[in-house]
Structure formats: structure tokens, C-alpha cells
């Protein structure tokens, strides 16, 4: 297999992405209890400013996926993200499961998400990440129909690829993995124990190095309400520093990666 061609002679790509779910992560499960919801509020209120400071100091531009409800609830947070030069992508309305929706409801939520993010971020989103990475059989067609450039949901490759065209339009897929997500390790559910940050960081570093060896894209997915806790934020800082030190790695936003891959197709 020919190694992917990345800009500037880079051997691999890396993206730092953040799902700013806030309270919707619990609201989507029917939770209304104030203490539970406060876990989500920690993300935009407490964690996001520190994350943006870290990215600014590292001179990294990231991709943030924001539910429409969160964007309207925390417009200042969205303004800070955009002001830092970061991308804003669609992530549902209240983190609803797309697979629970009929076709009309799915399209209505997608269009609401586009309208809200365009209005508040000042630019039309081109990327889509489904809540919980769950797509219906209609989702990719809807993305193509409404002009999205890329999806970041599938887990079948280490490099981006093009989905089959729908009505003459195609969507780039930038694959993800639970291995590079903080939720499996740090989201407390009552049934799942919280993992200590040290071994998780080591796993991320090892996976990142392995992806670089095969010329892929390390697509990290973080949630500010989880990664923003001080012990985990230290892991994020070390991971950012490691990626910056690694030779010939292109660190970019997902919209930039998608545009590059489309030019290669």
C-alpha cells in the first residue's frame, strides 16, 4: 500500500477535536437532576478557557463539534472557539441518537444545526460528527445533499477516504476510534469505573506513534467536561507536546484534512 501523501512531506496527520456536549450528554438520556447536569456545565464554563489557552500556546487549530442547544446556551463559548481560529462542526441539537429518529426528524435537526452554527459562528459548518458516532442509513445521503464536506464517524480505516457519491456529491470520511476518545476511560456512568489518567495517556501516545508509522491520521476526540479536569488536562498537555515534538506530523483541523484528501482523490 502506498503511504498517504500529506502536505509538506509530512508522514502522518493529527487532529485534536473536541465535542462540546455540555449538559446535552445527560439531557439526551432524560436526565434533569441538577447535579448530574452540572457535570456538563463544567465543560464550557470551566474547562474550555483552559483548553483554548493550551491550543493557542501550542499554535494548534482544532475542530469543535457543538450541539445546536449548546451553541445557543453558551454563545460566548462559541465566540471564543471561533476567535481562536478553530473549526465548528455539527453535532446534533441535544445530542439525540440519530438512529432513534425518522427521516424527517433527522433532516430537520441537521438543518437546525446548520442554521444555528452559521448564525452564531459566522460561517457555515462543513463537518458532521453524529452524537455517539451513530449514523442512520440516511445520514451520509443527507450530508451530501446539504453540502457537507466531511463526516468524522466511521472506524474502519486509519486514513481518510471518500464515501460513494450521492446525487453527484461525495463526502470525505475522517475515521475515529474509541481508543483515541476520552469518554470510555473517564465518563462515570455508575456501572463503569473511572480509569486513572496515567495509563490512558500511555495508550494514546502508543496509538499515536503507531498511526504515524503507517502514515495515517490520529483523530483524537475529547470532551471538555472530561478532559478538562486537572489530572486529565495534564495528559492533554503532554499529548499536545508529544505531537508537536514528533517529526513530520501535520497537525490540522478536520476541514483542512478533508480538503486535502479531496484534492488527492
Does residue 11 form part of some domain?
A: yes
Q: What is the pLDDT of residue 4?
A: 66
49: CATH: 3.20.20.370
Tens digits of residue pLDDT in 24-56: 999 998 999 999 999 999 999 999 999 999 999
pTM of the model: 0.96
Q: Which residues contact 19 (CB under 8 A, 6 or more apart)?
A: 64, 65, 91, 129, 221, 222, 223
Does residue 244 form part of some domain?
A: yes
Q: What is the pLDDT of residue 189?
A: 75
Give 12's strand partners: 249
Q: What is the pLDDT of residue 60?
A: 98
Does residue 192 form part of some domain?
A: yes
User: Is the model's pLDDT at 8 over the cut of 70?
Assistant: yes
User: Is the model's pLDDT at 204 over the cut of 80?
Assistant: yes
* Measured distance CA(24)–CA(228) in Å, rounded: 17
Does residue 2 form part of some domain?
A: no
Residues 215/12, Cβ–Cβ less than 8 Å: yes
Q: 117 is in which domain, residue-wise?
A: 7-264
Which of 49-88 are b and which e, b meaning 16 or more Cβ less than 10 Å from the residue's Cβ? ebbbebbeebebbbbbbbbbbbbeebeebbebbbebebbb
* Measured distance CA(256)–CA(265) in Å, rounded: 15
Does residue 214 form part of some domain?
A: yes
Quick one: what percent of the chain has pLDDT higher than 90? Answer: 92
pLDDT-derived band of residue 3, with 50, 70 and 90 as boundaries? low
Residue with cell 483524537: 220
Residues 113/151, Cβ–Cβ less than 8 Å: no
Q: What is the pLDDT of residue 1?
A: 47
Q: Which residues contact 86 (CB under 8 A, 6 or more apart)?
A: 52, 55, 61, 62, 63, 64, 253
pLDDT-derived band of residue 166, with 50, 70 and 90 as boundaries? confident
User: Is the model's pLDDT at 167 over the cut of 80?
Assistant: no
Provide the grid cell at 13.
496527520
Does residue 47 form part of some domain?
A: yes
User: Is the model's pLDDT at 265 over the cut of 90?
Assistant: no
Task: Work out the average pLDDT over 149-166.
Answer: 95
Q: How many distinct structural domains can be found in the chain?
A: 1
Does residue 1 form part of some domain?
A: no
Provide the grid cell at 167.
446525487
C-alpha to C-alpha distances, 24 to 38, 67, 78, 92, 232, nearest whole angstrom: 11, 8, 16, 10, 21
Q: What is the pLDDT of residue 165?
A: 82
Tens digits of residue pLDDT in 86-138: 999 999 999 999 999 999 999 999 999 999 999 999 999 999 999 999 999 99
Amino acid at each position: 500500500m502506498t503511504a498517504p501523501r500529506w502536505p509538506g512531506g509530512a508522514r502522518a496527520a493529527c487532529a485534536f477535536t473536541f465535542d462540546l456536549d455540555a449538559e446535552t450528554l445527560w439531557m439526551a438520556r432524560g436526565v434533569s437532576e441538577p447535579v448530574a447536569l452540572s457535570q456538563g456545565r463544567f465543560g464550557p464554563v470551566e474547562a474550555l478557557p483552559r483548553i483554548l489557552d493550551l491550543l493557542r500556546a501550542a499554535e494548534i487549530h482544532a475542530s469543535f463539534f457543538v450541539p445546536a442547544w449548546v451553541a445557543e446556551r453558551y454563545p460566548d463559548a462559541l465566540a471564543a472557539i471561533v476567535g481562536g481560529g478553530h473549526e465548528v462542526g455539527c453535532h446534533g441539537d441535544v445530542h439525540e441518537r440519530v438512529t432513534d429518529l425518522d427521516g424527517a426528524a433527522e433532516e430537520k435537526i441537521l438543518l437546525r444545526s446548520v442554521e444555528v452554527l452559521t448564525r452564531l459562528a459566522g460561517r457555515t459548518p462543513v463537518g458532521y460528527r453524529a452524537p455517539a458516532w451513530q449514523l442512520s442509513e440516511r445520514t451520509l445521503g443527507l450530508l451530501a445533499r446539504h453540502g457537507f464536506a466531511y463526516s468524522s464517524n466511521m472506524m474502519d480505516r486509519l486514513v481518510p477516504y471518500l464515501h460513494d457519491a450521492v446525487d453527484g456529491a461525495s463526502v470525505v470520511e475522517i475515521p475515529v476510534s474509541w481508543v483515541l476518545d476520552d469518554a470510555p476511560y473517564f465518563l462515570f456512568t455508575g456501572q463503569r469505573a473511572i480509569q486513572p489518567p496515567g495509563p490512558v495517556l500511555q495508550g494514546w501516545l502508543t496509538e499515536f506513534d503507531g498511526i504515524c508509522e503507517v502514515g495515517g491520521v490520529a483523530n483524537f476526540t475529547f470532551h471538555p467536561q472530561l478532559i478538562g479536569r486537572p489530572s486529565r488536562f495534564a495528559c492533554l498537555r503532554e499529548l499536545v507536546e508529544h505531537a508537536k515534538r514528533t517529526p513530520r506530523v501535520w497537525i490540522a483541523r478536520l476541514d483542512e484534512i478533508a480538503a486535502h484528501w479531496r484534492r488527492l482523490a
